[in-house]
Amino acid sequence: MTIQLWHCQNSRSFRVLWALEEIGADYDLHMLCFPPRVNNKAYLEDNPLGTVPFLRDGETEMTESCAMLEYLGARYGAGSGCARSPEDADFGAYLNWLHHGEATLTFPQTVVLRYARFEPDARKLPQAVEDYREWFLARLRKTEATLSDGRAFLLPSGFSMADISVAYAAQLAITIGMREQMPEQVMRWFTGLTERPAFIRTREIEAKGHIAAGYPERQPVVLP
């Protein structure tokens, strides 16, 4: 059965779409308007959380983007070089970076987005926005230090799903206007990743994607 992915432009589901392209999996893509739980009520029948990404693979249903990366790498990534197994020397580092990208790096940016852009003016919190911007930049120290030797990927053994996880956090930061504050080595590494054929294909797929059948035909909300 073909993998099904529900996706919104520029959301965490970008990680999963990119991963699917890297491993060459067969999948069906369902593009939704953001936020889907508000603009696509029918989607709640598929995913009661109303969040993206949502992945269905036969009887398996998943809602966490980094868990999807681990799942896809373990189940379908053989030969792609995207995953690491328990026998690999850098397996622990692989798992740590995989979850670091979400739990440590993406989380503070969601606070920035909510209280700088998504809440009505009366509920915006400029101090929280600034505090969580600084939190995010501080948490990039580990990534910057790891890349300080000029390596192209987070793991010495090469590209992996861990790069996809952390790269999305960098991509989101740039999207919300933090490019000038990004550390030098992080930007060098991220720029290199954007030249990967699978990344380029993912961007092209997003650009020409249409709203999935059965959902309201509204234009997706794309962050500037």
Each domain of the chain, given as residue ranges in start order, spans 3-82+200-208, 91-196
CA nearest neighbour of 206 among 5, 2, 7, 3: 7
The predicted pLDDT at position 73 comes to 97
pLDDT band, residue 9 (cuts 50/70/90): confident
Which distant-in-sequence residues (6+ apart) come within 8 Å of 131 by Cβ?
Answer: none
Mean pLDDT calculated for residue range 60-65: 98
User: How far apart, in whole angstroms, are the C-alpha atoms of residue 62 and residue 53?
Assistant: 8
Q: What does the CA dihedral 27, 33, 34, 39 come to, rounded to 10 degrees?
A: -130
The predicted pLDDT at position 39 comes to 66
CATH 1.20.1050.10 is the classification of domain 91-196: yes
The predicted pLDDT at position 221 comes to 32
Fold designation for 3-82+200-208 = Glutaredoxin (3.40.30)
Average pLDDT over the chain reads 90
| pLDDT at residue 1 is higher than 60 | yes
User: How far apart, in whole angstroms, are the C-alpha atoms of residue 222 and residue 224?
Assistant: 6
User: How far apart, in whole angstroms, are the C-alpha atoms of residue 10 and residue 32?
Assistant: 11
Please give the backbone phi and psi of residue 160, each rounded to the nearest 5 degrees, phi first: -155, 175
Mean pLDDT calculated for residue range 34-51: 83
